[in-house]
Amino acid sequence: MRSLIHIFCISLEKLTEKLGLVISWFTVLMVVIMTAVVILRYGFNLGWIGMQESIVYLHACVFMLGCGYALKHNSHVRVDVFYRKLSPKRQAIIDFFGCLLLLMPTLGFIFWASFDYVEQSWLLSEGSIEAGGLPFVYLLKTLLLLMPLTLFLQAIVMLLRAAITVFPAFLAPHPKEF
C-alpha cells in the first residue's frame, strides 16, 4: 500500500500532466489559426480582429497554464551550474528550500497582486477595445490567477518529493503500509 503523500503527489501530477497535454494542443490550434489569418489576409484580402486576438489568447494560455507542466518535466529555467553536479539529496535540499522560500512566496505575491486587477476586469466584463475584437479580456486576465494556482499544485508535489528525500524518517511510509 502506498503512503498518502505518494498517492497525493501522483494525483496532483496526473492533473498537471492532463492540463499540460490539453494546453499543448493549443499550439497546434495557434498554427492553424495563424495560417488561416495569413491566407485570408493575403489571399482574399479578408481579416478579423477577433481571429487575430484568439491567437494571443491561446498563446497566453500555453505560457500561463503550462508553467506547472514545465516544472513537472524540469523544463523550467534553472541556473544549474552547480546543481547538476550535486548528489540527489543535495539537489532535493535545493529544491525543497527553493520551493518553500522562493517559488511559493512568489506565487502567493503574484496571486495577491493580481487579484484586484482581475476582479475589476470581471466586474466590468471587460472586452477588447478593438472593433470586432473578442469580448473576453476578463478571461484572459484570469490567467494571472490561474497560473500561480496551477504552478502551486506542482510546487507542492516538488516540495513533498524533496522533503521525502531530505527528511525520510519523518515522511517515509510506515513499514506496515508495504
Measured CA to CA, the distance from residue 63 to residue 106 in angstroms comes to: 17
What band does 171 get if pLDDT is binned at 50, 70 and 90?
low
Hey, what long-range contacts does 115-118 have (CB within 8 A, 24 or more apart)?
Answer: 115/145, 117/141, 117/144, 118/142, 118/144, 118/145
Which residues, 6+ apart, have CB-to-CB distance to 8 below 8 Å? 160
Residue 93 contacts residue 83 (beta carbons within 8 Å): no
Measured CA to CA, the distance from residue 112 to residue 33 in angstroms comes to: 34
Residue by residue, DSSP assigns 146-169 as HHHHHHHHHHHHHHHHHHHHH-HH
Which residues, 6+ apart, have CB-to-CB distance to 83 below 8 Å? 91, 94
* pLDDT value of residue 165: 86
Asked whether the predicted pLDDT for residue 175 surpasses 70, the reply is no
* pLDDT value of residue 9: 86
Mean pLDDT score, 27-46: 94
Give residue for cell 508495504.
178
For the segment 147-160, what is each residue's pLDDT rounded down to a tens digit?
Answer: 999 999 999 999 99
3-class DSSP state of 133: coil
3-class DSSP state of 75: coil
Measured CA to CA, the distance from residue 139 to residue 115 in angstroms comes to: 13
Measured CA to CA, the distance from residue 125 to residue 91 in angstroms comes to: 45
Which residues, 6+ apart, have CB-to-CB distance to 139 below 8 Å? 57
